Amino acid sequence: MEDHKKLLSTKLQSMSESATIMMAEKARELKSQGVDVISLSLGEPDFDTPDHIKNAAKNALDEGFTKYTPVPGHLALREAISEKFKRDNQLEYGPNQIVVSNGAKQSIANLCLALLDPGQEVIILTPYWVSYFDIVKFSGGTPVALSAGIDRDFKVKAEDLDEAINDKTKMILFSSPCNPTGSVYLKSELEAISEVIKKYPNVFVISDEIYEHINFTNEHCSIGSLEGMLERTITVNGFSKGYAMTGWRLGYIGAPLWIAQACAKVQGQFTSGATSFGQMAAVAALNSDQRPSHKMKEAYLRRRDFMVKNLSAIDGIDVNNPQGAFYIFADVSGSFGRSNGKNTIETANDFAEIMLTEAHVAMVSGTAFGNKDCVRLSYAAADNILKEAVERMAKTLSSYR
Ligand code: PMP
Ligand code: GLU
């Protein structure tokens, strides 16, 4: 095994495995051994895809949508996305400025492969989604973390960004609502950030808005809609979260034409267009009844309130009040140094490991998201499961003093 490792590309050897996927697999494995594990590790809606979307895919199959599609996606879907951007986000991207991919993850990979040269830096607002760092690195760029802690609701300030930008900076990358913190950048905050970015004509922004529909402030702002930002911004979105379509693998970008064309070129060599009949279901998702998504959001909000109330009551855990997505990024540094006589919690990794092995609750250590004090819990799970998880965590932690 060790010998084979050396045969892998140096690039691959320095790539970390996705911590979210690794933890979810660990939990699955324990479950298959009969351990009663509650997995709050993977960020995946517990809801099924709404029926009208599934039916649209079935109809598309019957209608013969079984062939290769244009690389950037069926025109009908790109038109629907273009309309959606106008309607919901005040973003003017024509259908030829849209590229549909096998998930937003591929959209981000396309962008980094198309835009980054060695030596160029990407400032990643931190805590960040786990895959950003490795996608940037694998594409030849250098990721630079710009952090904000729980005291600032995990949101980076415009002044800090201004200080971090230098001659090597090519892009800024962030998600709002944010995975893993649930924080939402408000319009005023994005305006301040965009004023900074506009001072640097060669700097672009990748704005990952995949949690747009899970925003409890009900005010989603796309940075690309702010004055002078459209030509600088690539807006990433997808169907996984808002429409509970993780397994369908459908994401997309809206971008300046030359960037969209570059991404289509990458995708044309790597994977071609996304699944044909899935794309027709995505048209239905965008153009029909949005109430199922609203209902899911209501459930997430109820669960958020439950988690915030009950986790903050546990000694050693500090939480903020996330305004979107379906994660709690809990600061557990208050438990560091505690021991049960056998094990000691020194780090967030220890905390997550002890919760998995002793409380049988799976979560992801904050180190995977660029923060050493926190752990991420996904509350995209049924209310009774969340209740049980919090009880188990409180019980286990109370044996650590
Ligand atoms: N961006 C963020 C912030 C995410 O949490 C995820 C995880 N689903 C993705 C992108 C990728 O989503 P997908 O590939 O399922 O569209
Ligand atoms: N985005 C989800 C998460 O953060 C799904 C897993 C993944 O793609 O990393 O858990």
- The stretches of 141-206 forming alpha helices (DSSP H) are 158-164, 187-197
Distance CA 222, CA 212 (A): 9
Instruction: Using pLDDT thresholds of 50, 70 and 90, give the confidence band for residue 224.
Output: very high
pLDDT at residue 2, rounded to an integer: 64
- Considering the segment(s) 64-287 as one domain, its CATH architecture is 3-Layer(aba) Sandwich (3.40)
* pLDDT tens-digit map of 241-291: 999 999 999 999 999 999 999 999 999 999 999 999 999 999 999 999 999
**Which of 129, 178, 208, 328 maximizes ligand 2 atoms within 8 Å of its Cβ, making it the mutation to test the pocket?**
129
Q: Name 151's Cβ contacts closer than 8 Å, sequence gap at least 6.
A: none
State the closest ligand 1 atom to the C-alpha of 108, by its place in the atom list counted from 1: 10
Give the H/E segment covering residue 330.
strand 327-331
Where exactly does CATH 3.40.640.10 map onto the chain? Answer: 64-287
Region 65-83: what's the mean pLDDT?
98
CB 73 within 8 A of CB 100: yes
User: 313 alpha carbon to ligand 1 midpoint, in Å?
Assistant: 31
pLDDT in tens, 13-52: 999 989 889 888 999 999 999 999 999 999 999 999 999 9
Question: From ligand 1's centre to the CA of 31, what distance in Å?
Answer: 25
How far CA 94 is from CA of 15, 109, 224, 255, in Å, comes to 36, 22, 14, 9
Q: For residue 179, which atom of ligand 2 is closest to its CA?
A: 4
pLDDT at position 100: 98
Domain 4-48+292-398: give its CATH superfamily.
Answer: Aspartate Aminotransferase, domain 1 (3.90.1150.10)
Q: Is 21 in the pocket of ligand 2 (CB under 6 A)?
A: yes
CB of 100 shorter than 6 A to ligand 1: no
Q: Say if ligand 1 is within 6 A of residue 331 CB.
A: no
Atom number in ligand 2 closest to CA 180: 4
Question: Pick from 284, 243, 231, 280: which is nearest to 97 by CA?
Answer: 231
Instruction: For residues 123-140, give the mean pLDDT.
Output: 97
Please work out, in degrees rounded to the nearest 5, the angle formed at the alpha carbon of residue 301 by the alpha carbons of 24 and 55.
Answer: 70
97 lines ligand 1 (CB under 6 A): no
Give the ligand 1 atom nearest the CA of 106. 14
Indicate whether residue 130 lines ligand 2 (CB < 6 A).
yes
Per-residue pLDDT, averaged over 376-388, amounts to 98
Ligand approaching nearest to the C-alpha of 325: 1
| Mean pLDDT of the chain, nearest integer | 97
Alpha carbon separation from 129 to 51, 98, 180 (Å, rounded): 30, 23, 6
The pLDDT tens digits of the residues spanning 174-208 come to: 999 999 999 999 999 999 999 999 999 999 999 99
Backbone torsions φ then ψ of 331, nearest 5 degrees: -85, 115
Q: Which of 106, 107, 138 is nearest to 122 (CA)?
A: 138
pLDDT above 70 coverage of the chain, percent? 100
> Pairing mode, if any, of strands 251-254 and 98-101?
antiparallel
Delimit the CATH 3.90.1150.10 region(s) of the chain: 4-48+292-398
pTM of the model: 0.97
* Gap from CA of 245 to ligand 1 centroid (Å): 11
Q: 349 CB under 6 A from ligand 2?
A: no
- Residue 82 makes CB contacts below 8 A (sequence gap 6+) with 93, 94, 95, 97, 98, 254
Q: Residue 255's closest CA among 349, 139, 114?
A: 114
Compute the distance from residue 165 Cα to the ligand 2 centre, in Å.
28
What would the pLDDT profile of 332-366 be if each residue is shown by its tens digit?
999 999 999 999 999 999 999 999 999 999 999 99
Nearest atom (ligand 1) to Cα of 129 = 3
Atom of ligand 2 nearest to the CA of 18: 9
Confidence of residue 1 (pLDDT cuts 50, 70, 90): low
Q: Binning pLDDT at 50, 70 and 90, where does residue 218 land?
A: confident
